[in-house]
Chains A and B, each alone.
Chain A
Amino acid sequence: MSTAVAGTSRAGAALTLYLPRLVGALIVIWGAATLAFLVLHLVPGDPVDIMLGVQSTVSEQVRESIRDELGLNQPILQQYLAYLGHVVTLDFGRSYRLQQPVTAVIGAQLLPTVQLAALSIVFALVIALAIALAARTRVARAIATLIELIAISSPTFWTGLLLLTVFSFQLRWFPVSGGQGLPALVLPALTLALPIAGILSQVIRHGLDGANAQPFVDSARARGLTFAEQLGRHTLRHASPPAVTLAAYIVGSLLGGAVIIEQLFGRPGIGRVALDAINNRDLPVVMALVIFAAVVFVVINLIVDLLYPLIDPRLRRTR
């Protein structure tokens, strides 16, 4: 860093390091919000029609008053600015269909999806690590490759059905659908976790292979380390940055996957909210979910950015 900020070098350095990322994150959220706004206004048809349903026989007068209330008669730029203001205050308007604030609709359904996603991540990590660490011999590697391939290539709505057939209908270990508590969560979470575990296992294995080909592993082996010590002290850490890079992608695919899983297993959650909203063209809800997804993505990426330097000291630019 330059000498001018030497006095406050640490804080200043941290600021110059993270400020661009913070700005970048805000740009992504702003972009998402703008996109949502454009979509809301590009959608063919009158929003009021969509709101009231096609068969509605409400008089033109009432429609006009609704337009006024929603600000739809104002110039587009003014609407946009007002909309941005609402977004900043987490006001996403009211659901056309449920006649409730969008925030309340999503908020009420958030917990089941978070539970599902959290258990899925745990499953995915455990399965991926198990496969990656077991694949040491040539035969085990071939088997691991096959398992990964099947896990990645099978659509969740199919593996979910298979798991249901076997574990719910035949063995009756888990409830068929709905239900509360952990037992009802296991199959959906496992279904959601499988493709992610496949990808994660590949990435970890690739990372371990890459690390194992590095000269420092020769040094470590020449110091008398066992394989477990090599993993724990050296290679696993080298394999983790690519896996961490996947974090945002994984959380994204959890969100997307939740739409299918919740439908398949008849679970409540924001995936269900999303599907209902799309089927009913409940656009304020759809757009709030779009912004929600962008925020989640941005937050995960900020965390990842903070994690990298902890894993790899070469990325700590400040000293």
Chain B
Amino acid sequence: MTEQLARVRNLRISFGGTTVVDGVSFEVGAGECLALVGESGSGKTITSRALLGLVPRSATISADELSVAGEAATEFDESHWQGIRGRRVGLVAQDALVSLDPLRTIGQEVGEVLRVHSRREKKPLSRQELAAAVQAELAHVAIPQPVSRARQYAHELSGGLRQRALIAAATIARPRLLIADEPTTALDLGIQAQVLDLLDTLKREGTGLILISHDLAVVARIADRVAVMQHGRIVETGDAASVLSAPKHEYTRSLLAATPGLHAKGERLGTLPPVVLAPAAPVDRSSTVLSVRGVSQSFRQPGGGRIQAVDAVSFDLRAGSTIGIVGESGSGKTTLGRIILGLQKPDAGEVLLDGAAWSALPERRRRERRHSIQAVYQDPLSSFDPRLTVGAILRESLALTGVARADLKARAAELASQVGLGGELLARRPLTLSGGQRQRVAIARALARNPRVLLCDEPVSALDVSIQAQVLDLFADIQAQLGLAMVFISHDLGVIHHVSDEVLVMSNGVVVERGPSGDVFSSPRHPYTQALLSALPDPLSTLEGAPS
């Protein structure tokens, strides 16, 4: 029987009258990884903070048992907690760029736990001892050149090294229990895999790990046991393999069903019925609506020199089909999107819309044709004038399309209901809407202009998986019924796999691989694509039994 590092029985946390954690129980032993899985608002983060005594003061917390490192934590006062934090329980947060103090060196940050705790325990370490410990720990998490890295700042390190340093800062005092809160969410795919491997190593060395994640693929890779949380409750718990392959609870099943990477184009992800749009004129699916011809764009870098953001990219997009552009951050896909939208003039090459000049036109003449190509962005909120209500946003777009003044209100309501927004939302401002609702408003605004091409730049990246599923279904409905052509930009291979007919893989501004979606994903030819796909924490093998 393994040593119990944390045991929670019937934990309840509430703010005022709102219960955010409702009777949660779990335990974690040495060398074991428990994953708390759930969408935002499920209470997983605050549950983990209870093990550190870091629940906000305004919260009411109660538990039949809350023991940390073998002690009953319900009795702890603040100074007792300070002795536990960092020493007995470590925390690895999401994004090292902001979770490490940007004003202090890596060495200072990593050494801080030891420094503070050795002083508290009246055995202060000397400078040399501290520096040696920091270097040893940086080496332990496989950071090369630990001596010089310790002198650098978080912003000077690459994302992967940064996240390793954050882990080192949590593990240097050898806490037996480590809480990793979305430790890979902010990272590019290749680095994700490395960080997960590191956490796996720590687990094998005997650390108990509580992994908090919304991402089932990440969970499948290192968790021994999984607890699925919804609305502050654990709805299903068990060993990882059985929960992920044979989920019993309906919520777990819907989560798995919503994972786009597991479903081919055309399969529904969410549980909502298809929307019904006004049938448009039939579309000739063989005609090319958008042509990108050898487009290049470079930018001046702050330190001098130029960076080639987009390098001789070409493709054709046929009516009614979707081209997926996938790449990691900095691959040039967003710049390409701006060029396609005519918001940025390329250095070389040209974009044709409906076979006629587009990128080469002066803005005055392009404006007349802008209705043909519309966009949906990653952060819809910032793309709305903050003063306007949903209704006003839709009416502006409709008015541009030439809808008569008298009909604007009725048409806006009709448009909203077509994308699944209730009429009562028209009077609200987007700020008060949920992420999924905001994206529906953005989609409705684009559709109001009757476009032939829809460009979507990371439209579902900020959404929870079940909401993401609904929005992806909406895109599918729109394409099926209106015959829109779509350019779909994303870093998420699963999403791209689900939506695309054809895929472009971009790296450093260059298209390194292209082809029909199925071919690229099943038999990638370019080493970069192969590396990307192999880094994908692929749940497919674990999840074969998942219902579709």
Contact = CB atoms under 8 A, between A and B. Distances in A.
A219 B117 contact: no
B113 A311 contact: no
A215 B85 contact: no
Interface string B251-267: 00000000000000000
B100 A219 contact: yes
B302 to A, nearest CB: 8
A139 interface: no
Contacts of B156: 319
Interface string B81-122: 111111101110111001111111100000011001100100
A222 B103 contact: no
In the A-B complex, the 7 residue pairs with the smallest Cβ-Cβ separation, listed nearest first, are: A222-B91, A223-B86, A224-B85, A224-B86, A2-B304, A223-B113, A216-B101
B52 interface: yes
Interface stretch (A50-58, A231-239, A263-271): A231-239
A91 interface: no
Contacts of A233: 101, 104, 112
A234 B101 contact: yes
A27 interface: no
A317 B156 CA distance: 11
Nearest to B91: A222
23 contacts: A1-B303, A214-B98, A216-B98, A216-B101, A218-B54, A218-B93, A219-B101, A220-B101, A222-B90, A222-B91, A222-B93, A223-B169, A224-B87, A224-B120, A225-B112, A226-B79, A229-B116, A234-B101, A238-B103, A313-B102, A313-B103, A313-B155, A314-B153
Interface in A230-267: 233-234, 237-238
A221 interface: yes
A237 B104 CA distance: 10
Interface of B is mostly: mixed
A267 to B, nearest CB: 41
B305 A224 contact: no
Given A224-B120, A313-B155, 14 more contacts: A215-B94, A215-B98, A216-B100, A221-B52, A222-B52, A222-B86, A222-B89, A222-B170, A223-B169, A224-B87, A234-B103, A234-B104, A311-B103, A314-B153
A49 interface: no
A314 B166 CA distance: 18
A312 interface: yes
Nearest to B113: A223
Contacts of A238: 103
Contact of B85 (A214, A222, A313): A222
Interface in B275-316: 302-305
Given A220-B112, A314-B102, A1 B304 contact: yes
Interface of A: 1-2, 214-216, 218-226, 229, 233-234, 237-238, 311-314, 317, 319
A141 to B, nearest CB: 13
Contacts of B91: 218-219, 222-223
A221 B85 contact: yes
Most chain B CB atoms below 10 A, which of A216, A234, A238, A312: A216
B103 A223 contact: no
Interface residues of B, number: 40
Given A216-B98, A219-B93, A225 B82 contact: yes
Interface in B164-209: 166, 169-170, 179
Interface in B138-168: 153, 155-156, 166
Contacts of B179: 222
A1 B301 CA distance: 10
A224 B83 CA distance: 6
A212 to B, nearest CB: 12
Contacts of B116: 223-225, 229
Given A215-B94, A216-B102, A221 B112 contact: no
Contact of A312 (B84, B103, B105): B103
Most chain B CB atoms below 10 A, which of A2, A216, A219, A223: A223
Contact of A224 (B100, B117, B153): B117
Contacts of A317: 302-303
Contact of B82 (A224, A234, A311, A319): A224
A229 B101 CA distance: 13
A1 B120 CA distance: 45
A42 to B, nearest CB: 43
B85 A223 contact: yes
B20 to A, nearest CB: 17
A219 B82 contact: no
Contacts of B166: 219
Contacts of A2: 304-305
